[in-house]
Chains A and B, each alone.
Chain A
């Protein structure tokens, strides 16, 4: 699907010359490293014994009955640190080691990627700086504490909208200032080539496992639908990866509509965005007519990003994937419903995916695989506040 760094018209590396050397170093080496035996041995071993893979593919009996189709949950919430993000950070830290880097930087929105990066750094004994929007530091306090316990330095991003996009800008600036010592672990399938491809490949372990597990459970290795939420798009890319060329499987991507796509407070990029450049990548993004990037909004910090990865932009414009946008209220209700029906409290990012049933009908024989991208512990305060659970 990717050719010379582009998915269709999307992708590329629109970066200042100051970033050319480290990005080029990564571009020239990542495929070689990913294919090498030493990397694969170490990566697979860590995924198994440290991350806790394979994660279960769980048949959600109650939910299936309630909705009237066959619903499987890919339990990325059971990964160490509670989300899919660690698949990427463990992989990238090994790449950083191969490249001889000793300092790691990352951006984070919800804090999940920050925690996953801090975790991998603690494991490998590397210095770790995580850039996080000042606003997100407040609304994701437990994850900030976790990062600090893990030995990372959390640097508040105070520019612009003080959320994920600004944390990403700050991380990029740090890299410009430290191109030789530092590897930048981007947290999603965004950024300049080769990041979208690199992160998608590292997350593709999700779809590889689904294939095997579904074959055992359903007697066929492909579902009718794959469903995932999309912030930048890494958990979605991981789930879709091995099915991208398999037309038997339909792909559903769920974006955050925030307070609704007709309000100015939304993060539904495909509905509200158009083609432009964000963080070094040509993709769909939310912007005004002058190309100034819009401040997005979602109740979930992990979906509060004004762009989507170039792969997803291509999946959207080529109509390979169907995009559905879910507002705050629908997502919160779906999160509560999943908790009560299956005994699983999902991250609010993930909750968005489980709100599609009002927007789309399924047949009783349809097999759906949802990426349960993360657990809801980090969001308890938001859930409590929203549902007034303390009363």
Chain B
């Protein structure tokens, strides 16, 4: 059964406000039972979107912090079916857009259609699979994603050509995930003129999708900086580090320290 949801939560959120704060966390981290707690706390802290990381053994696009959290989550016993189980009923409680971020092999082993169907029934709004290239997505999987009303959100980097950005914009949906610099997650340190120029370049392209910037945002300064040029920012490694140091109950503090309005 397909949940014929009338609204697209990501589109609605993007249309409704600016300075969107999107936070990534790894499911099953720090404890296996923390997935729902983290979600509830993030929602209560007022974040605008949540990226739920499905941990993977070989996360090549991620840096040390997220990889370590993934390894721990897997040791804790996290897996695809368990994550879906944990998310069951989440839509009775919260309405923020959910995006699943994972690696393509996990989806492939679960079954692409089954995975999409499950996401739809739970109320997931979008999927980020950094290692599923846009061409393969378009040729083989786009119709399935669309059938289950899932946004396929793609990454671009400062090295992505204008032509390719346009292609990605036309094929993907939800928003465009602009990686702040050539890096894995958790690597960069503040934004320089080169990056600002890149943000401006994307801004001036008048893309169909709005842009959110990720990688390297870790505090109020970096968040407010990207919000000048994009719809919002995505924080991953900095939040995982915070969870590592402070546990799941002080999410509020983390979010307060990021917000600038």
Q: How far does the alpha carbon of A276 sit from the alpha carbon of B57 in the complex, in Å?
A: 13
Q: Which residues of A contact B61 (CB under 8 A)?
A: 16, 18, 176
Q: How far does the alpha carbon of A133 sit from the alpha carbon of B247 in the complex, in Å?
A: 31
Q: Which residues of B contact A160 (CB under 8 A)?
A: 57-58, 71
Does A278 belong to the interface (CB within 8 Å)? yes
A17/B130 in contact, CB under 8 A: yes
B105/A278 in contact, CB under 8 A: yes
Binds A, one of B86-94, B177-185, B198-206: B177-185
**Would you list 13 pairs from A and B whose C-beta atoms are within 8 A, ordered by A residue?**
A14-B104, A14-B136, A16-B155, A18-B61, A20-B133, A165-B58, A169-B60, A173-B60, A176-B183, A276-B109, A290-B106, A291-B56, A291-B110
A residues near B (Cβ < 8 Å) are 12-18, 20-21, 159-160, 165-166, 169, 172-173, 176-180, 275-280, 287, 289-293
Binds A, one of B18-26, B119-127, B157-165: B157-165
Q: A14-B136, A173-B184, A177-B183 are in contact. Are A159 and B160 (CB under 8 A)?
A: no
Q: Which residues of A contact B154 (CB under 8 A)?
A: 17
Which parts of B129-187 form the interface with A (CB within 8 Å)?
130-134, 136, 154-157, 159-161, 164, 168, 179, 182-184, 187
Q: Which residues of A contact B67 (CB under 8 A)?
A: 159
A276/B131 in contact, CB under 8 A: no
Q: Which residues of A contact B68 (CB under 8 A)?
A: 159
Does B32 belong to the interface (CB within 8 Å)? no
Residue of A nearest to B83 (CB): A290
Does B79 belong to the interface (CB within 8 Å)? yes
Does B43 belong to the interface (CB within 8 Å)? no
A-B contact count (CB 8 A): 112
Does B63 belong to the interface (CB within 8 Å)? yes
Which parts of B179-226 form the interface with A (CB within 8 Å)?
179, 182-184, 187
Within the complex, the shortest CB–CB distance from B55 to chain A, in Å, comes to 8
Within the complex, the shortest CB–CB distance from A170 to chain B, in Å, comes to 9
Residue of B nearest to A295 (CB): B57
Kindly name the residue among A16, A20, A275 whose own CB sees the greatest number of chain B CB atoms within 10 A. Answer: A16
B182/A179 in contact, CB under 8 A: yes
Q: How far does the alpha carbon of A179 sit from the alpha carbon of B64 in the complex, in Å?
A: 19
Q: How far does the alpha carbon of A16 sit from the alpha carbon of B164 in the complex, in Å?
A: 14
B109/A16 in contact, CB under 8 A: no
Q: How far does the alpha carbon of A148 sit from the alpha carbon of B106 in the complex, in Å?
A: 38
A293/B182 in contact, CB under 8 A: no
B159/A280 in contact, CB under 8 A: no
Indicate which residue in A20, A169, A291 contacts B106 across the interface (CB closer than 8 Å): A291
B63/A173 in contact, CB under 8 A: yes
B80/A176 in contact, CB under 8 A: no
Q: A169-B58, A290-B79, A293-B58 are in contact. Are A20 and B164 (CB under 8 A)?
A: yes
Q: How far does the alpha carbon of A20 sit from the alpha carbon of B157 in the complex, in Å?
A: 10
Kindly name the residue among A18, A166, A177, A179 whose own CB sees the greatest number of chain B CB atoms within 10 A. Answer: A18
Q: How far does the alpha carbon of A15 sit from the alpha carbon of B131 in the complex, in Å?
A: 4
Which parts of B22-81 form the interface with A (CB within 8 Å)?
56-61, 63-64, 67-68, 71, 74, 79-81
Q: Which residues of B contact A180 (CB under 8 A)?
A: 159, 182
